[in-house]
């Protein structure tokens, strides 16, 4: 490793971006080797927000540990909880009622839209346009209100429980979601006019941070990052869970591999999410929202793995059970970590401005990487 400050023996600049830096969206520390403005090497340093969530989970019961996972990738808290709930259900062999499955999938997709909205605003801010951030948050607020009404919280909902969801949907849920869909369809035009079509934005994004399909696979990238390089890896399509098998949606794939492709994947993914919600919202079946489970959950001895598609990519939950009430070992495979590891490959040879644009399209959530 290089010395952290100063210059390399070749006379190149070494710059520490972060852990406190406006572009890193959290406490990520990048050690960058620069030649002029051109980046020669990037070394991410992690650990600034490590809370040992995996170890913490080992001392929590199967009902309790789910809430902790909201604090990993806090922008897709629902989806994290969903993954854990699914994994526990796999061990318990519980059949989740159809109504609960519908609610779960809709909540997942709403979370995905909310997460992508925030990413969109933050990306625009990274490349220097402040105003889109506020527009994005305005629409995100509508989703947050829906969440608040049904789940009782805006960010860390803890709504998914083993066997279903914690509470039935609010009576106004359907109406509000339909209102949001109508609003979203109106506002996406505005987004495209303000940012997508903007010549400066396109120039900042196109041909920047290229990641080939081979590299995407070898670095273990997933989610929009891999799909922008042409790798079909949507868990919702490949390994469907809950009612994803029954809904019609398109797996968004771009072949550009650059930042603009990643941008387009996420923008189009939001449309697909809206499409999924549209199919489900008016057809929620009657029934229970939660399957009957025992008060104290005990997983049989063995190993259980469940993957889901979060807003950032593939999240895997791996539980080793010794038959007790708490997991013997838990491992989370977080999408952000693998996506970040490809950053050096993407940003090498670009300018500092490119690094910021590339990092923005990776959609990093640092607590997800560090856990």
Shortest separation between residue 243's beta carbon and another protein, angstroms:
24
Nearest CB to another protein, comparing residues 168 and 278: 168
293 is a contact residue toward another protein (CB under 8 A):
no
Q: What are phi and psi of 204, to 5 degrees?
A: -70, -30
23 is a contact residue toward another protein (CB under 8 A):
yes
Q: Which range of residues in 46-54, 98-106, 150-158, 299-307 is near another protein by CB under 8 A?
A: 150-158
Burial (CB < 10 A; 0-12, 13-18, 19+), residue 255, is: exposed
Residues of this chain, 325-354, that bind another protein according to CB under 8 A: 351-354
How far is it, in rounded angstroms, from Cα 109 to Cα 274?
8
126 is a contact residue toward another protein (CB under 8 A):
yes
Q: Site for another protein (CB under 8 A): which residue of 53, 75, 125, 364?
A: 125
Burial (CB < 10 A; 0-12, 13-18, 19+), residue 323, is: exposed
Nearest CB to another protein, comparing residues 20 and 218: 20
Nearest CB to another protein, comparing residues 22 and 287: 22
195 is a contact residue toward another protein (CB under 8 A):
yes
Q: Site for another protein (CB under 8 A): which residue of 33, 150, 259, 361?
A: 150
Q: Which range of residues in 47-55, 109-117, 125-133, 261-269 is near another protein by CB under 8 A?
A: 125-133
Q: Is 227 in contact with 253 (CB distance < 8 Å)?
A: yes
Q: Site for another protein (CB under 8 A): which residue of 29, 204, 307, 371?
A: 204
Q: Is 135 in contact with 121 (CB distance < 8 Å)?
A: yes
Shortest separation between residue 124's beta carbon and another protein, angstroms:
7
How far is it, in rounded angstroms, from Cα 155 to Cα 75?
7
How far is it, in rounded angstroms, from Cα 212 to Cα 199?
25
Q: Site for another protein (CB under 8 A): which residue of 2, 21, 40, 41?
A: 21
Q: Site for another protein (CB under 8 A): which residue of 253, 280, 356, 366?
A: 356
Residues of this chain, 27-86, that bind another protein according to CB under 8 A: 37, 60, 63-65, 67-68
Q: Site for another protein (CB under 8 A): which residue of 190, 214, 250, 303?
A: 190
Q: Is 91 in contact with 319 (CB distance < 8 Å)?
A: yes
Q: Which range of residues in 196-204, 237-245, 259-267, 333-341 is near another protein by CB under 8 A?
A: 196-204
Nearest CB to another protein, comparing residues 24 and 339: 24
127 is a contact residue toward another protein (CB under 8 A):
yes
152 is a contact residue toward another protein (CB under 8 A):
yes
198 is a contact residue toward another protein (CB under 8 A):
yes
Distance of CA 28 to the CA centre of its chain: 17
Cα–Cα distances (Å) from 166 to 63, 197, 231, in that order, read 11, 42, 36
SS3 content of the chain, % helix, strand, coil (to 5): 50, 15, 40
Residues of this chain, 209-268, that bind another protein according to CB under 8 A: none
Q: Site for another protein (CB under 8 A): which residue of 4, 51, 55, 145?
A: 145
Q: Site for another protein (CB under 8 A): which residue of 203, 212, 218, 255?
A: 203
- Element (DSSP H or E) covering residue 85: helix 77-92
Cis omega (within 30 of 0) on the bond before 19? yes
Cα–Cα distances (Å) from 253 to 30, 214, 239, 361, in that order, read 29, 15, 17, 15
Neighbours of 318 (CB within 10 A): 17
How far is it, in rounded angstroms, from Cα 170 to Cα 303?
36
Applying CB under 8 A, the residues found at the interface with another protein are 13, 15, 21-23, 37, 60, 63-65, 67-68, 124-131, 133-135, 138, 141, 145, 148-153, 156, 158, 161, 166-167, 170, 190, 193-195, 197-204, 295, 351-356
């Amino acid at each position: 490793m290089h010395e952290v400050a100063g210059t390399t023996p070749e006379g190149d600049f070494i710059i520490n971006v972060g852990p406190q830096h406006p572009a890193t969206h959290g406490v990520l520390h990048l050690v960058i080797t620069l030649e002029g403005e051109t980046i020669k090497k990037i070394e991410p340093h992690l650990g600034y927000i490590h809370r040992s969530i995996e170890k913490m989970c080992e001392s929590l019961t199967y009902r309790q540990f789910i809430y902790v996972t909201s604090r990993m990738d806090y922008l897709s808290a629902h989806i994290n909880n969903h993954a854990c709930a699914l994994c526990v259900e796999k061990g318990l062999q519980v059949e989740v009622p159809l109504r609960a499955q519908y609610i779960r999938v809709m909540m997942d997709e709403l979370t995905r839209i909310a997460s992508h909205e925030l990413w969109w605003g933050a990306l625009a801010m990274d490349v220097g346009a402040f105003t889109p951030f506020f527009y994005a948050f305005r629409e995100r607020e509508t989703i947050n209100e829906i969440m608040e009404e049904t789940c009782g919280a805006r960010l860390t909902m803890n709504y998914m429980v083993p066997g279903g969801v914690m509470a039935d949907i609010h009576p106004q849920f359907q109406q509000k979601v339909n209102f949001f869909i109508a609003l979203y369809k109106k506002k996406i035009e505005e987004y495209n006019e303000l940012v997508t079509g903007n010549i400066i934005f396109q120039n900042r994004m196109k041909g920047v941070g290229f990641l080939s399909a081979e590299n995407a696979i070898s670095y273990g990238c997933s989610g929009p990052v891999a799909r922008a390089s042409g790798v079909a890896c949507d868990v919702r399509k490949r390994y469907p869970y809950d009612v994803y098998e029954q809904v019609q949606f398109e797996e968004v794939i771009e072949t550009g591999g650059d930042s603009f492709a990643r941008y387009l994947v996420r923008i189009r993914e939001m449309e697909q999410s809206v499409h999924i919600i549209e199919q489900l919202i008016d057809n929620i079946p009657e029934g229970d929202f939660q399957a009957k489970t025992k008060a104290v959950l005990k997983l049989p001895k063995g190993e259980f793995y469940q993957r889901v598609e979060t807003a950032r990519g593939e999240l895997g939950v791996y539980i080793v059970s010794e038959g007790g009430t708490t997991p013997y070992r838990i491992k989370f495979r977080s999408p952000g970590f693998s996506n970040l590891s490809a950053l050096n490959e993407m940003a090498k040879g670009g300018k500092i401005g490119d690094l910021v644009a590339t990092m923005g399209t990776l959609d990093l959530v640092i607590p997800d990487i560090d856990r």
